[in-house]
């Protein structure tokens, strides 16, 4: 015992692994490991993102209802139930769908024009030095400029119609999207670029077949930001100058009802705006992502 | 130099003109604030069905040289001729297999990745491209994964796709830039075997960059040795007698040692004497 201890003490600073007998053996047959553990129902439900998110929404609605009832002032804060009732009434009567369609009409025009312009500008920027300078100068100048600040000017130029709304919408979509697209394009790996040029791809074909898909994560992020900016700008612009030729949008609906102190309808309008945002984000963009960049392993 | 540009083979029959000639090529690239010389006055010739290796330590400009042959970099001096015509731009007659795995567009399945270049260069119809892609995917043993996206493949499989994609173009020269350097040792060995088996079958012309002496001896039939800073030709050596089975034999070791000496010790002595 003492011998071992003393030997231990000598080699304590430099441990040596023991030499063990070798062995060779035939491979074990494959075990059947495909049996899946069945999770309990509540765990499976909890894995659904939409269910968790709905639960959060439900809690928020409940909180609103409680606070409103404690407050007991329908003019300042109508309860959630009242807002939903107003939403249902005006949806059935066709007022809200009508206003929402007006808003969407303008929104899609402005958004599409913004996206096309952003694509043209970014393509210029990736192919020429001057285009790059143009893009960086324009974005640093105009990106911080709030679209609403351009509205008075737009009204002067394009009058009280869709034109001025589309103009400010383009402004709100173009710069953030261009920035994101350009960042995405510059982030495309050099090897992939060379592989693309190796096939003899040039010009627009090179941009469309290599750069755009490779930069798609950034482009989708830019499209999302652009969408949110456009929605915000549109509602704000409608609040400022109201209806054009009797065709008001959701912003106008909110403004009008506030003037008449229908606070529950104001909330109904806001909820509609929120619902559109959720719908586009969670259905449209989510689908786009899961069918492209997520499937390709470019994002998690 | 004169003796090397017009080699006479053992049987005395004069050779056909080379497929690819690199003639006194000096390459430079711009680093911030200065111009770095990557290679200086490098010449070599590659004949049809050669497996020509560019071997050297890092900084010898071998990858830059390969990119110049690919047409991505224009030589500062000298010229590069393919079939007697000077190389200006990247083109589908010189397909590069890179070291990096991100050379495969992640938005295309294996099948699409392999068929894409022939389609993009407009050589074949959709159906012919698909057939030929199928053929080469089978050659590299990836038929089972033809519909998989690259992000689901291992490194070795990605390189196989890149090789299939290059072969499908049936290029005049296949350019490989350390294609197996990012793979683990076992996979690398397997890939070398497969590459040689493919060469046996297809007889493509290969220009292969590596920093591994063993890989050079095994894969190549002729090795150009480059010394670094900037890259200059040190020697051209025949290595057709070695294959994957000859590793570890004394002759193979001797050849490896000879290359090692040429690349390092004597070059250093030479440089010191220059200083």
Q: What is the DSSP letter of A26?
A: P
Nearest to B104 by CA among B160, B58, B45, B50: B160
Closest residue on chain A to B109 (Cα):
A296
Q: What span, in angstroms and rounded, lies between the C-alpha atoms of A200 and A205? A: 10
Chain B nearest CA to A163, separation (Å)? 38
Nearest to B100 by CA among B168, B179, B47: B179
Cβ distance A292 to B98 less than 8 Å, yes or no, reads no
Cβ-nearest to B103 among A192, A216, A295: A192
Domain assignment present for residue B258? The answer is no
**Range name among A33-37, A127-131, A171-175 with the lowest pLDDT average:** A33-37
Q: What span, in angstroms and rounded, lies between the C-alpha atoms of A84 and A101? A: 20
pLDDT grade for A34, boundaries at 50, 70 and 90: low
Domain assignment present for residue B37? The answer is no
Enter the tokens of residue B142. 């990836």
pTM assigned to the model:
0.76
Q: In what order do the strands lie in the sheet with B34-46?
A: B34-46, B20-31, B77-82, B85-86
Chain B nearest CA to A296, separation (Å)? 5
Number of domains into which chain B is organized: 1
| Contact status, residue B159 vs residue B183, Cβ threshold 8 Å | yes
Q: What span, in angstroms and rounded, lies between the C-alpha atoms of B104 and B98? A: 10
Q: Where are the domains of chain A?
A: 78-291
CA distances (Å), origin B64, targets B28, B70, B74, B227: 9, 10, 10, 14
Q: Is B63 on the interface with A (CB under 8 A)?
A: no
Q: Which of chain A's residues have a Cβ under 8 Å away from the Cβ of B107? A: 213-214, 216, 292, 296, 298
Chain B nearest CA to A294, separation (Å)? 10
Q: What span, in angstroms and rounded, lies between the C-alpha atoms of B159 and B167? A: 12
Q: What is the pLDDT of residue B2?
A: 41
CA distances (Å), origin B85, targets A295, B44, B80, B172: 43, 16, 8, 12
Cβ distance B149 to A191 less than 8 Å, yes or no, reads no
Q: What span, in angstroms and rounded, lies between the C-alpha atoms of B258 and A139? A: 59
DSSP notation for chain B: -HHHHS---TT-PPPPPPSEEEEEEEEEEEETTEEEEEEEEEEEEE-TT-EEEEEE-TTSSHHHHHHHHHTSS--SEEEEEETTEE--S--TTEEEE-SSGGGS-TTS-HHHHHHHHHHHTT-S-HHHHHHHHHHHHHHTT-GGGTT--GGGS-HHHHHHHHHHHHHHT--SEEEEESTTTTS-HHHHHHHHHHHHHHHHHH---EEEEES-HHHHHHH-SEEEEEETTTBEEEEEEE-TT--TT-TTSHHHHHHHHHHHHHHTHHHHHHHHHH-
Q: Between β-strands B222-227 and B51-56, what pairing exists: parallel, antiparallel or unpaired?
A: parallel
Q: Which of chain A's residues have a Cβ under 8 Å away from the Cβ of B100? A: 189, 191
Average pLDDT of the segment spanning A259-277? 88
Helix, strand, or coil here: A131? helix
Q: Is B149 on the interface with A (CB under 8 A)?
A: yes
Size of interface A-B (CB pairs under 8 A): 66
Nearest to B96 by CA among A292, A274, A195, A99: A195
Domain assignment present for residue B36? The answer is no
Q: Which of chain B's residues have a Cβ under 8 Å away from the Cβ of A214? A: 105-107
Cβ distance B107 to A199 less than 8 Å, yes or no, reads no
Strongest mean pLDDT among A222-231, B213-222, B262-271: A222-231
- For A78-291, CATH number? 1.10.3720.10
Q: What is the pLDDT of residue B149?
A: 86
Q: Is B116 exposed, middle or buried (0-12, 13-18, 19+ CB in 10 A)?
A: buried
Interface of B with A in 246-265 (CB under 8 A): none
Q: Between β-strands B34-46 and B51-56, what pairing exists: parallel, antiparallel or unpaired?
A: unpaired
What percent of chain A has a predicted confidence (pLDDT) above 90? 10
Nearest to B166 by CA among B199, B189, B211, B192: B199
Q: Is B95 on the interface with A (CB under 8 A)?
A: yes
- The partner residues of A103 in beta bridges, in order of sequence, read none
Domain assignment present for residue B71? The answer is no
Q: Which of chain B's residues have a Cβ under 8 Å away from the Cβ of A192? A: 102-103, 105
Q: Which of chain A's residues have a Cβ under 8 Å away from the Cβ of B120? A: 199-201, 205, 209
Q: What is the pLDDT of residue A14?
A: 85
| Contact status, residue B68 vs residue B25, Cβ threshold 8 Å | yes
| Contact status, residue B141 vs residue B160, Cβ threshold 8 Å | yes
What percent of chain A has a predicted confidence (pLDDT) above 70? 92
Cβ distance A191 to B120 less than 8 Å, yes or no, reads no
Sign of CA dihedral B149, B150, B156, B157: positive
Q: Between β-strands B77-82 and B85-86, what pairing exists: parallel, antiparallel or unpaired?
A: antiparallel
Nearest to A238 by CA among A117, A99, A135, A119: A99
Sign of CA dihedral B39, B40, B46, B51: negative
Q: Is A189 on the interface with B (CB under 8 A)?
A: yes
Average pLDDT of the segment spanning B11-23? 72
pLDDT higher than threshold 50 for residue B224? yes
Q: Is A192 on the interface with B (CB under 8 A)?
A: yes
pLDDT higher than threshold 60 for residue B5? no
Helix, strand, or coil here: A244? strand
ipTM: 0.79
Report pLDDT digits (tens) over B110-164.
888 888 888 877 777 778 888 888 888 887 788 888 888 888 888 888 888 888 8
Q: What span, in angstroms and rounded, lies between the C-alpha atoms of B154 and B182? A: 11
Q: What span, in angstroms and rounded, lies between the C-alpha atoms of A178 and A73? A: 46
Chain A nearest CA to B185, separation (Å)? 23
Q: What is the pLDDT of residue B6?
A: 47
| Contact status, residue B1 vs residue B24, Cβ threshold 8 Å | no
Cβ distance A198 to B95 less than 8 Å, yes or no, reads yes
Domain assignment present for residue B114? The answer is yes
Q: Which of chain B's residues have a Cβ under 8 Å away from the Cβ of A194? A: 67, 70, 72, 90, 96, 98, 103
* Gyration radius (Cα) of chain A, Å: 30
Q: What is the pLDDT of residue B3?
A: 40
Q: What is the pLDDT of residue B132?
A: 82
pLDDT higher than threshold 90 for residue A5? no
Q: What is the pLDDT of residue A58?
A: 92
Report pLDDT digits (tens) over B65-77.
888 888 888 888 8
Average pLDDT of the segment spanning B13-21? 73
Q: Is B120 on the interface with A (CB under 8 A)?
A: yes
Q: What span, in angstroms and rounded, lies between the C-alpha atoms of B158 and B138? A: 14
Enter the tokens of residue A40. 């309990």
Q: What span, in angstroms and rounded, lies between the C-alpha atoms of B211 and A183? A: 34
Q: In what order do the strands lie in the sheet with B173-177?
A: B94-97, B173-177, B206-210, B51-56, B222-227, B232-238
pLDDT higher than threshold 50 for residue A99? yes
Enter the tokens of residue A69. 């009832």
Domain assignment present for residue B121? The answer is yes
Cβ distance B90 to A197 less than 8 Å, yes or no, reads yes
Cβ distance A197 to B72 less than 8 Å, yes or no, reads yes
Q: What is the pLDDT of residue B41?
A: 82
Chain A interface, best mutation among B107, B114, B182, B207, by max A CB count within 10 A: B107
Cβ distance A195 to B98 less than 8 Å, yes or no, reads yes
pLDDT grade for A66, boundaries at 50, 70 and 90: very high
| Contact status, residue A128 vs residue A217, Cβ threshold 8 Å | no
pLDDT higher than threshold 70 for residue A267? yes
pLDDT higher than threshold 70 for residue A234? yes
Chain A nearest CA to B40, separation (Å)? 24
Helix, strand, or coil here: A247? strand
Q: Which of chain A's residues have a Cβ under 8 Å away from the Cβ of B72? A: 194, 197
CA distances (Å), origin A3, targets A8, A9, A10, A12, A54: 8, 10, 11, 14, 71
Q: Which domain holds residue B110?
A: 94-170
DSSP notation for B20-87: EEEEEEEEEEEETTEEEEEEEEEEEEE-TT-EEEEEE-TTSSHHHHHHHHHTSS--SEEEEEETTEE-
pLDDT grade for B1, boundaries at 50, 70 and 90: very low
Closest residue on chain B to A217 (Cα):
B107
Cβ distance B98 to A194 less than 8 Å, yes or no, reads yes
Q: What span, in angstroms and rounded, lies between the C-alpha atoms of B20 and B23? A: 10
Q: Which of chain A's residues have a Cβ under 8 Å away from the Cβ of B117? A: 198-199
Q: What is the pLDDT of residue B11?
A: 58
Cβ distance A213 to B107 less than 8 Å, yes or no, reads yes
Strongest mean pLDDT among B124-128, B168-172, B208-212: B208-212
Chain B interface, best mutation among A188, A196, A199, by max B CB count within 10 A: A199
Cβ-nearest to A192 among B91, B105, B120: B105
pLDDT grade for B198, boundaries at 50, 70 and 90: confident
Q: What span, in angstroms and rounded, lies between the C-alpha atoms of A199 and A209? A: 11
Q: Is A198 on the interface with B (CB under 8 A)?
A: yes
Q: Is B56 exposed, middle or buried (0-12, 13-18, 19+ CB in 10 A)?
A: buried
């Amino acid at each position: 015992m003492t011998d071992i201890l003393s030997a231990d003490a000598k080699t304590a600073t430099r441990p040596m692994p023991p030499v063990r007998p070798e062995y060779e053996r035939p491979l074990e047959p494959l075990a059947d490991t495909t049996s899946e553990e069945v999770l309990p129902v509540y765990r499976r439900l909890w894995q659904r993102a939409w269910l968790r998110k709905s639960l959060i929404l439900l809690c928020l609605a409940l909180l609103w209802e409680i606070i409103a009832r404690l407050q007991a002032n329908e003019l300042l804060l109508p309860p959630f139930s009242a807002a939903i009732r107003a939403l249902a009434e005006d949806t059935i009567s066709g007022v809200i769908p009508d206003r929402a369609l007006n808003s969407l009409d303008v929104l899609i025009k402005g958004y599409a024009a913004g996206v096309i312009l952003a694509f043209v500008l970014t393509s210029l920027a990736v192919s020429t030095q001057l285009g790059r300078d143009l893009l960086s100068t324009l974005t640093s100048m105009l990106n911080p400029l709030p679209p609403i600040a351009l509205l008075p000017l737009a009204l002067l130029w394009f009058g009280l119609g869709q034109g001025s709304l589309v103009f400010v919408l383009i402004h709100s979509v173009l710069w953030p999207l261009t920035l994101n697209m350009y960042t995405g394009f510059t982030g495309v790996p050099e090897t992939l670029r060379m592989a693309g040029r190796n096939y003899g791809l040039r010009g627009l074909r090179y941009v469309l077949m290599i750069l755009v898909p490779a930069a798609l994560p950034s482009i989708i992020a830019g499209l999302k930001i652009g969408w949110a900016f456009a929605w915000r700008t549109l509602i704000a612009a409608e609040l400022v100058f109201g209806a054009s030729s009797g065709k008001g949008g959701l912003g106008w609906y909110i403004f009008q009802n506030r003037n008449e102190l229908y606070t529950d309808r104001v909330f109904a309008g806001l909820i509609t705006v929120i619902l559109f945002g959720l719908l586009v984000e969670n259905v449209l963009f989510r689908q786009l992502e899961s069918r492209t960049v997520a499937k390709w392993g470019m994002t998690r | 130099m004169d003796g090397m540009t017009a080699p006479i083979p053992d049987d005395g029959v004069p050779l056909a003109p080379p497929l690819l000639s690199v003639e006194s090529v000096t390459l430079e690239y711009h680093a911030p604030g200065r111009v770095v010389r990557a290679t200086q006055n490098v010449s070599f010739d590659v004949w049809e069905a050669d497996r020509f290796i560019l071997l050297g330590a890092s900084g010898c400009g071998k990858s830059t040289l390969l990119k110049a042959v690919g047409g991505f970099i224009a030589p500062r001096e000298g010229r590069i001729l393919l079939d007697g015509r000077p190389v200006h731009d990247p083109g589908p007659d010189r397909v590069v297999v890179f070291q990096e795995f991100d050379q495969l567009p992640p938005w295309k399945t294996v099948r699409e990745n392999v068929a894409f270049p022939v389609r993009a260069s407009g050589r074949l119809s959709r159906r012919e491209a698909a057939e030929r892609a199928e053929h080469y995917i089978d050659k590299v043993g990836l038929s089972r994964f033809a519909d998989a996206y690259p992000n689901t493949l291992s490194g070795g499989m990605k390189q196989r796709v890149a090789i299939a994609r290059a072969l499908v173009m049936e290029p005049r020269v296949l350019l490989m830039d350390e294609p197996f350097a990012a793979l683990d040792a076992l996979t690398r060995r397997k890939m070398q075997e497969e590459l040689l088996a493919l060469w046996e079958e297809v007889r493509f012309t290969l220009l292969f960059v590596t920093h591994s002496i063993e890989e050079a001896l095994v894969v190549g039939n002729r090795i150009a040795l480059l010394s670094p800073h900037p890259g200059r030709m040190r020697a051209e050596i025949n290595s057709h007698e070695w294959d994957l089975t000859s590793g570890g034999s004394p002759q193979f070791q001797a050849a490896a040692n000879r290359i090692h000496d040429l690349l390092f010790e004597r070059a250093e002595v030479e440089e010191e004497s220059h200083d």
